[in-house]
Amino acid sequence: MLRLGLCCLFHREPIRFRSTTARALSRLAPRDRPARLAELCAANAAALRDALDYCAGHGIGCFRVNSQILPLRTHPGLGYRVAELPGGRAIRAAFEACGSFARDHGLRLTFHPDQFVLLSSPRDDVTRASVADLEYQAEVAEWIGADVINIHAGGAYGDKPAALARLAATLRRLPAAIRRRLTIENDDRSYTPRDLLPFCETHGIPLVYDVHHHRCLPDGLEVAEVSARAAATWDREPLFHISSPRHGWHGAHPEQHHDFIDIRDFPVEWRVLSLTVEVEAKAKEVAVERLRQELGEATAGGAIRRKPRARRAR
């Protein structure tokens, strides 16, 4: 079964997740802040239910939950626990109801923390803040039944083996609620599948294969080989990413995402796998629906990927 995933937001549908900034919240009197945060969290639980209802009704099998679903949850000065907010039990119950709905309708839920979540940093304060953010997302993941919290390996910091060693050491210290969900994705700047597959195979962590990143930062491995090896790192249904370049493979900045997926960029090898593919396209649910239709219409032999522009080694 090929399951397509929608990432975080909607393009056409009037489903919106709410947020705030530390500056805006700080303008409120301290006694008024919990009520404001409770309002935002409750609204986002309701929006998540609407998002899942839409996915269930439109053949979308996976939804990536916005990493700020609980706004400012881990902010160093304004952070909070949901249990401390007015109506905190009801907020948690609303998220748990989303999880029940997802299970009843066969929907998969995932998280993809922000880029500042780094487990390979040489700075202890960055690592501590990153783990705190992962703990919060794992808490919500428990409520809603999400089985993936996906991160990038981080920066190379001028010494890739040392950075990966720090990542491995941090992995060993993570709470179980994070560790059993954590996955690592190849990127388009530092870490290729050739870098990460041995790491994932050694440390028992699934690789989220982003084929667009791989095409932007090639490493000599073929899509078919990486797809097979990445799928083998999973103890559950594998999850991969697809996107297309905004200005084409021979245009400027091929790493930028297009509004839609070019069907020729969808790997033939993936069509025969039991796989979740998150669609990273700016047209969001419209792009997922178009890709779903095109995959249903095209024959496996007819989807031929164009050859990407070569990229200089870093």
Of residues 312 and 81, more confidently modeled:
81
Domain for residue 15, yes or no? yes
Summarize pLDDT for 103-143 with one digit per residue, the tens.
Answer: 999 999 999 998 889 999 999 999 999 999 999 999 999 99
133-169 burial: b if 16+ Cβ within 10 Å, else e: bbebbbbbbebbbbbbbbbbbbbbeeeeeebbebbee
User: How far apart (Å, rounded) are the C-alpha atoms in residues 208 and 215?
Assistant: 15
Domain for residue 203, yes or no? yes
My answer on whether 96 and 194 are in the same domain is no
Question: pLDDT at position 114, please?
Answer: 87
Q: Which residue has the tokens 């905004």?
A: 246
pTM of the model: 0.91
User: How far apart (Å, rounded) are the C-alpha atoms in residues 217 and 187?
Assistant: 8
Question: pLDDT at position 271, please?
Answer: 93
Percent with pLDDT over 70 in the chain: 94
307 — pLDDT class (breaks 50, 70, 90): very low
Q: Which residue has the tokens 């997740």?
A: 17
Summarize pLDDT for 11-64 with one digit per residue, the tens.
Answer: 999 999 999 999 999 999 999 999 999 999 999 999 999 999 999 999 999 999
Task: Look up the CATH number of the domain holding residue 60.
Answer: 3.20.20.150
* CA 240 to chain centroid: 10
User: How far apart (Å, rounded) are the C-alpha atoms in residues 135 and 74?
Assistant: 9
Domain for residue 91, yes or no? yes
pLDDT surpasses 50 at 301: no
Domain for residue 129, yes or no? no
Which among 237, 290, 286, 235 is positioned nearest to 266, based on CA atoms?
290
Question: pLDDT at position 311, please?
Answer: 40
User: How far apart (Å, rounded) are the C-alpha atoms in residues 306 and 277?
Assistant: 19
The β-bridge relationship of strands 239-242 and 207-210 is parallel
Neighbours of 57 (CB within 10 A): 9
189 — pLDDT class (breaks 50, 70, 90): very high
Tell me how far apart the 2 most distant CA atoms of the chain are, in Å.
63
My answer on whether 293 and 205 are in the same domain is yes
My answer on whether 107 and 227 are in the same domain is no
My answer on whether 193 and 312 are in the same domain is yes
**Full domain range(s) for residue 85:** 1-111
Q: Which of 94, 111, 128 is the last residue of a domain?
A: 111
Question: pLDDT at position 42, please?
Answer: 98
Stretch 180-186: mean pLDDT: 98
261 — pLDDT class (breaks 50, 70, 90): very high
Question: pLDDT at position 1, please?
Answer: 81
* CA 212 to chain centroid: 14
Query: Structurally, how many domains does the chain consist of?
Result: 2
Beta bridge pairs of residue 17: none
Q: Which of 86, 111, 136 is the last residue of a domain?
A: 111
127 within 8 A of 177, measured Cβ to Cβ: no
pLDDT surpasses 70 at 259: yes
